[in-house]
């Protein structure tokens, strides 16, 4: 779940990624504006769901932007057709307007990155982790993250709950939060299992909220 050590860390949610039922929409966080960038043909109602939960949890202004084609230059076909999440982050960062503090890309296509160990080497076996399918990736800290629904399964209710938690998690990384060991926290490490997401709640623990205040 750690990325290259180059000024910004990349933090990912593999085959996916999330305390208390209360919202953190109070004076805990500075005001910020988030743009939800759907990539065609992303479902508009799902984008609206994401916007609503980010506004509720973080108290930020959130706008759903006009849908765009996913950047063609991010496409790879090493093991299967995918789009490189790390490249999407860079493009979003470069194109993010000054009116937005954060940009969250959302796509129904499969996305991937290279998963590395604590020494920065590609995790072994290399053939498995050099192009590793994920559900989310975000700079830590930074202003760009991306989430894919490709690997989210379940009925409509479970699907939307998982999607909300992943998006909260990635924005948390953009705000500088690392993975959290508090039981039930949205910032829990996915540990390469989708079961993690179902065992946490869609908001931050008290410790993570304190870290953001500090």
Cα distances (Å, whole numbers) of residue 57 to 16, 147, 204: 20, 17, 8
Domain assignment of residue 80, given as a range:
33-178
Looking up residue 77, the CATH number of its domain turns out to be 3.40.390.10
10-residue block means of pLDDT along the chain (214 residues)?
40 37 42 96 97 96 98 95 97 96 98 90 90 92 97 91 96 96 92 81 94 87
Query: In 37-155, which ranges are continuous DSSP H helix?
Result: 44-58, 85-95, 126-129
Q: Could you tell me the pTM of the whole model?
A: 0.85
**Domains contained in the chain, number:** 1
Q: How far apart are CA 85 and CA 42, in angstroms?
A: 16
Q: How deeply is 183 buried, as exposed, middle or buried, from its count of CB atoms within 10 A (0-12, 13-18, 19+)?
A: exposed
Is 115 a member of any domain?
Answer: yes
């Amino acid at each position: 779940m750690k990325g290259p050590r180059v000024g910004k860390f990349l933090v990912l949610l593999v085959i996916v990624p999330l305390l208390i039922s209360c919202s953190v929409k109070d004076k805990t966080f500075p005001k910020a504006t988030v743009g939800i960038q759907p990539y065609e043909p992303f479902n508009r109602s799902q984008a609206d769901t994401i916007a609503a939960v980010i506004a509720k949890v973080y108290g930020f202004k959130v706008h759903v932007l006009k849908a765009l084609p996913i950047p063609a230059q991010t496409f790879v076909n090493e093991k299967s057709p995918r789009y490189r999440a790390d490249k999407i982050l860079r493009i979003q960062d470069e194109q993010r307007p000054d009116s937005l503090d954060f940009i969250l890309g959302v796509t129904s296509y499969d996305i991937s990155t290279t998963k590395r160990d604590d020494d920065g080497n590609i995790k072994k076996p290399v053939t498995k982790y050099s192009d590793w399918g994920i559900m989310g990736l975000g700079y830590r800290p930074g202003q760009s993250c991306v989430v894919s629904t490709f690997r989210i399964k379940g009925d409509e209710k479970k699907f939307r709950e998982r999607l909300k938690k992943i998006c909260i998690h990635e924005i948390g990384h953009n705000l500088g939060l690392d993975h959290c060991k508090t039981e039930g926290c949205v910032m829990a490490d996915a540990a390469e299992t989708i079961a993690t997401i179902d065992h946490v709640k869609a908001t931050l623990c008290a410790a993570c909220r304190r870290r953001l205040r500090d």
